[in-house]
Amino acid sequence: MRVLITGGAGFIGQRTGQLLLKQAHQVTVLDNLSPPAHDGPPALPAGMELVEGDIRKREDWVKALKENEVVVHLADYHDYLPSFSKLFHINAVGTAILFELLLEGKTSVRRIVLGSTTAVYGEGKYRCGKDGDVYPLPRRVDVLERGVWDPPCPICGGAITPMITDESVTRPTSAYGLSKLAQEDLVRLLGDRHGIEWVILRYGAVQGKGQPFQNAYYGALRIAALRLAHGQAPLLLEDGNQLRDFVDVEDVARANLAAITGLPPGAYNVATGRAHAVIDLARTLLRIAERDLAPETPGRYRVGDPRHVVPDVSRLKAEGWEAQSGLEAMVREYWQWLQQQPNLDTYFEGADHLMERTGTVRVAR
């Protein structure tokens, strides 16, 4: 099969491309090699054809689409900084241009696989003793400022418990999540209307070796490991008890492969089904790295973060996919890989300062 991977020079794209090449598929990559993921041309696996270009430019899509039958759309902009318009220019407009070209009928594309995110759920599903299943509102900054982390029931205001969240209700709490949902809606609506098959994969927190440490703006393991490589304890957001589902990049690449080669159209969560507190991830890292330090939780928080993310993976499991790697192996592999990387110093403090300067990361009073 001929497959185009946008963002194929990135973390998930390269792994997906490698897996496709192993199975004798043909792989083209459309990528503008932009920072922070790249600080120079990457060494792409042999066999991948690179079209250096931008998904905001029609002519670059045209160069890359050629005879490709499937587009795995991973190129995007993602961060928590107040770069709201950039999120929509790249994520939504870039996707809309693809559909304009598909409708002109000059391509061979019959299926789109969109790399999306569990950030489209926002707080996801919770249970209230009084009101049953509820979907909390985004947490208010004036409440976070007081160091109150758990969202209240949106109906009675009482305490609620996080539940696993299936694919049905989307309510993003960040501009990134909103821009990914806009991307999803375009793919769903225009795909159905114009006969292009689509699969949306909502990844949990993807981890693994090769995750660009240059992008120290998000990614709990990457940030904690980068600090540890400089002899500093992991500095966690909130109280560290936020739940996240950390999924290995190799497992994500296998899910992409399944979506390329035949998953029934629809949206699927891609995660392990075993959520962990961020503080447990940090403790696992400290144990593996054999450092006598403790995670620090001085009450910092990131505006737009959901408190917990606990995705339901039963839909994808029913299709025969299951995560194979666990937290321990993911952390070990990343830590070992990170220590072999050059120039870690260059990226260490810049991201943190920028997040604080722009009010993206704040400290509770």
Residues between 31 and 90 with contacts to ligand NAD, criterion CB under 6 A:
31-34, 37-38, 54-56, 74-78, 90
Choice from 115, 122, 208, 234 touching ligand NAD (CB under 6 A): 115
Site string for ligand NAD, 193-232 (x = CB under 6 A): ----------x-xx-----x--------------------
Compare residues 31 and 150 and give the one whose CB is closer to ligand NAD.
31
Q: Please choose, from the candidates 280, 278, 282, 279, the residue with its C-alpha nearest in 3D space to the C-alpha of residue 227.
A: 282
Decide: is 272 part of the binding site for ligand NAD (CB under 6 A).
no
Q: Residues touching ligand NAD: how many (CB under 6 A)? A: 29
Compare residues 115 and 152 and give the one whose CB is closer to ligand NAD.
115
For residue 154, the minimal CB distance to ligand NAD (Å) is: 25
Compare residues 34 and 297 and give the one whose CB is closer to ligand NAD.
34
Q: Please choose, from the candidates 326, 200, 332, 333, the residue with its C-alpha nearest in 3D space to the C-alpha of residue 272.
A: 326
Choice from 3, 4, 5, 13 touching ligand NAD (CB under 6 A): 13
For residue 328, the minimal CB distance to ligand NAD (Å) is: 18
Compare residues 11 and 335 and give the one whose CB is closer to ligand NAD.
11
For residue 255, the minimal CB distance to ligand NAD (Å) is: 11
Decide: is 341 part of the binding site for ligand NAD (CB under 6 A).
no
Compare residues 70 and 134 and give the one whose CB is closer to ligand NAD.
70
Q: Which residue is nearest to ligand NAD (CB)?
A: 10
Is residue 176 part of the annotated active site? The answer reads: yes
Decide: is 11 part of the binding site for ligand NAD (CB under 6 A).
yes
Active site residue: 80, 121, 126, 176, which one?
176
Choice from 7, 162, 177, 234 touching ligand NAD (CB under 6 A): 7
Binding site for ligand NAD (CB under 6 A): 7, 9-13, 30-34, 37-38, 54-56, 74-78, 90, 94, 115, 117, 203, 205-206, 212
- Residues with catalytic roles: 176
